[in-house]
Chains A and B, each alone.
Chain A
Amino acid sequence: EAGVAQSPRYKIIEKRQSVAFWCNPISGHATLYWYQQILGQGPKLLIQFQNNGVVDDSQLPKDRFSAERLKGVDSTLKIQPAKLEDSAVYLCASSLMRRWVYEQYFGPGTRLTVT
């Protein structure tokens, strides 16, 4: 079974530029998450989708971040314009029930550096 795919793996941009990240979850996983992992910290949820609907985006800085999941499969996370503090690893995860509990499977992440 293929895992969660993310691209690009690395991105370097200047502040005030725009950037987009792509995620393809495991086939059949209805729930998709985007987490932000700042260096030295644990991942923090940005947004959660159930199929193509948003479940929780309370932690998403909506003035600069946006995300969509068209057709309930792939998802794109965009930052416009980027700030220095957006430098982080952006993790995508999807979940599936296993032994009666939903477990999250993570992609390799996109490491963003804003200069």
Chain B
Amino acid sequence: AQTVTQSQPEMSVQEAETVTLSCTYDTSESDYYLFWYKQPPSRQMILVIRQEAYKQQNATENRFSVNFQKAAKSFSLKISDSQLGDAAMYFCAYRRDSGNTPLVFGKGTRLSVIA
């Protein structure tokens, strides 16, 4: 079974600085999809960024980018120019295909942003 591991239960970053959240996963599939979701306190989970495993280029969405290392099965999220609104739980998630199969989540990393 696929597993997703987030080894950092909590992280903090100064406003305007950069922070990297780590994620590793285990799979025997060669093609799969990886996601980072953000869950603000008492608010719904939203998709931050996704990466297709067949793509060598790292995904980027504005201030959010990933470092995808397929051989190492590593998928880290970098947040640049951190803002107070970035404070949330961040979940790394895996899905084995592009379809409707369920997501497998890590335990999450709580990010605090210090003004």
Contact = CB atoms under 8 A, between A and B. Distances in A.
Interface of A: 3-4, 31, 33, 35, 40-45, 48, 50, 55-56, 91, 95, 100-109
Contacts of B106: 42
A101 B98 contact: yes
Interface residues of B, number: 22
A42 B100 CA distance: 19
Contacts of B84: none
Contacts of A109: 44
Interface of B: 4, 33, 37, 42-47, 50, 52, 91, 93, 98-100, 102-103, 105-108
Given A42-B106, A48-B100, A108 B44 contact: yes
25 contacts: A3-B44, A40-B107, A41-B107, A42-B4, A42-B93, A42-B106, A42-B108, A44-B105, A48-B102, A50-B100, A55-B100, A91-B45, A95-B100, A100-B98, A101-B50, A101-B52, A101-B98, A102-B99, A103-B47, A103-B50, A105-B47, A106-B45, A107-B44, A108-B42, A108-B44
Given A101-B33, A101-B52, A108-B44, A45 B102 contact: yes
